Structure 1
Amino acid sequence: MAGDKQPVSVLVLIHTAAGRVLLIERADRQGFWQSVTGSREADEALSDTARRELLEETGFEAEAGVLENWQQRNVYEIYPHWRHRYAPGVTHNTEHVFGFCLPAELAPVLSPREHTAFEWLDWQEAACRVFSPSNAAAIRELGCRLAPA
């Protein structure tokens, strides 16, 4: 239903310990590459939103890797062409960042109505490929988390 999305979402950055990042291409916007994203439904916990979106968009069960709430949130303006999905007057979204570390690169099972392609890239290249500034920031944060202390 149009106008029913909550302006609260998750971004789940799928990666390996070696710094390879999975990106998926949006079906509704060719060339728009991203990590898993999705809005919270009802009053579900954010970790449940992350698990649900991970499964819906890639077919990955959370138990296949390590899902971690990075305790980061981004508030950003919703692109005008997507505002019709929210209640009238809603212009900003609060996005909560999660990391999902897999032991190896796996091929996701994409939902064709949402995504058309996937690629595993080194984190530096992935940060340049995504269309969303907050997604790029999360990928750069992964680079910091992987750097030796």
Structure 2
Amino acid sequence: MRAPYQVLVIPFICNENGVEYAILKRSDMKYWQGIAGGGENEENPEQTARREAFEETGLGEDCRLITLDTKTSLPVEHVVGHFLWGEDVLVIPEHTFGIEATDQKLNLSKEHSVYKWVSYEEALSSLKWDSNKTALWELHTRLKIRDHQKENNAKL
């Protein structure tokens, strides 16, 4: 049974170019997004994020998952096409995460036709949904703060 929430997961990798983000092109609608999907049965959002990341890209349990504060509400009809949970449930929350890839090679499911690793700026300009852009901004900012703290600690 589909749970009444959605997750968004943004893959990232830290390499010699700094931080790069994976954006995925949907096979059916041809727009760029992060990994997205819904909870199943008794899963919590973190379990859903890990499962969806694995199903859509092959990123596994060994990848660090970062829970983000960004949340949005999505119209039920836009997510599942109808009032799956009754006419009283009009919107569902979208929980967001970043996931650190250990390799740039992703194994895409049929849901996406292609992916690319891009800079923050290119990802921001390519993503279709505002919720994806806000989550990307939060993830990028958190990673910059983390790097700044590492630099300061190294100087001590």
Shift of 1:108: 1.0
Q: Does the 8 Å contact 1:83/1:91 carry over to 2?
A: no
Shift of 1:140: 1.2
Structure 2 unmatched runs, 5+: 150-156
The reply to whether residue 139 of structure 1 matches residue 123 of structure 2 is no
Counterpart for residue 71 of structure 2: 73
Counterpart residue type for residue 38 of structure 1:
G
Matches of residues 28-107 of structure 1 in structure 2 within 5 Å?
A: 28-30=28-30, 32-63=31-62, 65-78=63-76, 80=78, 82-84=80-82, 86-87=84-85, 89=87, 90-104=89-103, 106-107=104-105
The reply to whether residue 121 of structure 1 matches residue 118 of structure 2 is yes
- Aligned pair count? 142
TM-score normalized by the length of structure 1: 0.83
Query: Which one scores higher on RCO, CA 8 angstroms, separation ≥ 6?
Result: 1
Shift of 1:144: 1.4
TM-score normalized by the length of structure 2: 0.79
Aligned counterparts of 1:11 and 1:62: Cα–Cα separation in 2: 17
Counterpart for residue 19 of structure 1: 19
- Percent of matched pairs sharing the same residue: 29
C-alpha change, 1:131 and 1:91, in structure 2 (3 Å) is farther
Alpha-carbon RMSD across the aligned residues, in angstroms, is 2.2
C-alpha change, 1:141 and 1:79, in structure 2 (3 Å) is farther
